[in-house]
Amino acid sequence: MDYQISEQAVLSACLRDDSGLSSAKACELLTESDFSSEAHQKIFNLINQKHDINEVDVCIELPECSQEALALGERYGGGKIDRYVEQLVSSRNQRITDLALKEAMEALDQGTSVENIAGQFNSKVAKALSSGSGQSKVSSAVRKARDEFFAIDEGNSTAVSTGFKTLDFAFGGGFQRGRLYALGARPGIGKSALAIQFSHQVASKGYRVAYASLEMSATECAGRMLVRDSMVYRPRKKGDLNESHRLKIEESVKRMSSLPLTFKDDNKATLDSFRAFLFQERAKGDLGLAVIDYLQLLSAHGFKSRTQEVDFISRSLKQLAMELDVPILALSQLNRNLETAGRDPMLSDLRESGAIEQDCDTAMLLSVHKEDEEDSLDQPTEVIKCHIAKNRGGQNGLDELLDFDKAHGLFKVNLPNRLN
């Protein structure tokens, strides 16, 4: 389909459609730069400003474009514009991709690292994958909000369940797209185990999951998942596994092998490499959850202080969540002095940066439940309190008590002592 014909057909449909629906669709998905001539750009901008206009309005408002406006009406009778809009979007995507590829090749010739080139290339191409200019008219935005409300009410929310009813309720149905979730705890409390459980839950529902571990190998992560799925202890010596154990493990391997989940292990990961990883996984299909374990091990180049570096990483993760329209779960260490403070963790205990508490939409803080603290060290199960310290757009301060089976890496709701 000829590009010129497509843009003329789009403008014609907008000028001839009295309902304003064609204008709303075009303005939501297209930008001024999608039109090749200056006259078409001016007409589109006028449509974007006023929506419900016709050829006469264009002649009055833009007399220099009157001849072009009248020609549009004569040559194209309006009608549905979906396929023409799609053609313009496709052409824009190709232009952006070609330009990004050209810049990547130039950067490679200049000696820029492949890792940095991949991150920059994927970021630029993401703009082609996202529709429109990032601006939404109130009319289209409020309709989208309405659709989300109705979807939640009808049980068709795009949120992905965490596997815990209290957390799902607090989050508005589960992990929400475009949001950054922080999961903070001191070492040994179970934040990686809970993140792996979240990932297993999301993947088991058919959603793709990208899990970047900067602390454990992919085999270790998969091993933890295998233990919790099979409920067979990890063997420590020869003869620990009997035939029943082996059968359960094999059954779990069959179930897990089909999960749309990818582990990436890299103890020297940078923000650019994590970004590239997410774009690679996103290209395979829609992402239901992305995990970084853990944030303080991620690095970025060009900063004088670690605080500035973590601030930048935190802001970038939020931007990445919005750019890819995927929930990102960022695990975080808590400050060491919390161990001697004799209190539950707070947002300000998130380590190395105050930006994390500002940038995240939701923050969950894990700690050993006080009533269980003295007896938990030598017990196979301990009670962990999951405190929702921040919840943008939801209820703050909710607590959920979870039984943590340390040997199997499995969290379950602590029903006898449930706080809410």
Structure confidence at residue 130 (pLDDT): 54
Tokens of 318: 């939020």
Residues 116 and 107: their CA atoms lie apart, in Å, by 9
What strands, in cross-sheet order, belong to the sheet with 180-185? 261-265, 208-213, 287-293, 328-333, 180-185, 362-368, 381-391, 399-405, 410-413
Lookup: tokens for 125 = 């191409």
pLDDT the model gives residue 289 = 94
Query: For the segment 118-176, what is each residue's pLDDT rounded down to a tens digit?
Result: 666 666 666 555 544 444 455 556 666 676 667 666 666 778 888 888 888 888 888 99
Q: What's the CA gap between 263 and 227, in Å, rounded?
A: 16
At residue 1, does pLDDT exceed 70? Answer: no
Give me the chain's average pLDDT, please: 78
Per-residue burial over 238-258, b = 16 or more CB atoms within 10 Å of its CB, e = otherwise: eeeeeeeeeebbeebeeebee
Residues 198, 200, 203, CA angle at the centre, nearest 5°? Answer: 105
Q: Which amino acid does the sequence have at 328?
A: I
Over pLDDT 90: what percentage of the chain?
8
Among 99-113, 126-140, 183-197, the range scoring the smallest mean pLDDT is 126-140
Domains, the chain, ranges and CATH? 3-83 (1.10.860), 157-413 (3.40.50.300)
Residue 286 has pLDDT above 70, yes or no: yes
pLDDT at 327: 93
* Chain segment 69-96, per-residue pLDDT in tens: 787 766 555 556 667 777 777 777 777 7
DSSP state of 343: S
